[in-house]
Amino acid sequence: MVKKEKEFRPENRNLQLPEVNDFVVEFRKYRTELTKKFLDRKPWIPKDENKVTAFIPGTIQKVYVKDGDQVKEGEPMMVLEAMKMKNTIFASREGEILKIHVREGDAVAKNKVLIELKPD
């Protein structure tokens, strides 16, 4: 079903036309209305590779590294206990520990920054 755009007439001066967007899929051009929900959405922000965050709420059981340590990719950095399961958090890349934001026994929320690595 194709929606027809309302034509502009002097009596429709206060009429706000919906925002439309053109896009191409497999060499075909389409036009679509952008909804208010779409326009008001939270923009996507790429993950900061220098920050290690908690993927689940839990308690820090063991911290294997300290500030200034050099870590290699895949090296264990700490253990996070959540729902009676111990999850080892490994270094996602090689680098130097800039700051550790938690201590053993701390309760952490989801997405809390645990460790910061020095930027490349």
Q: Residue 95: give its domain's CATH number.
A: 2.40.50.100
**CA 70, CA 94: separation in Å to the nearest integer?**
8
- Range of the structural domain that residue 100 is part of: 51-117
pLDDT of residue 21: 83
Q: Examine residue 44 and state whether it is found in any structural domain, yes or no.
A: no
Percent share of the chain, pLDDT over 90: 60
**40 alpha carbon, distance to own chain's centre:** 17
Percent share of the chain, pLDDT over 70: 85
Q: Examine residue 34 and state whether it is found in any structural domain, yes or no.
A: no
Q: Examine residue 70 and state whether it is found in any structural domain, yes or no.
A: yes
Task: Give the count of domains, the chain.
Answer: 1
Q: How many residues does the chain have?
A: 120
Whether the CB-CB separation of 61 and 106 falls below 8 Å is answered with no
φ and ψ of 85, to 5 deg = -120, 135
φ and ψ of 12, to 5 deg = -100, 25
Bridge partner residues of 7 (DSSP): none
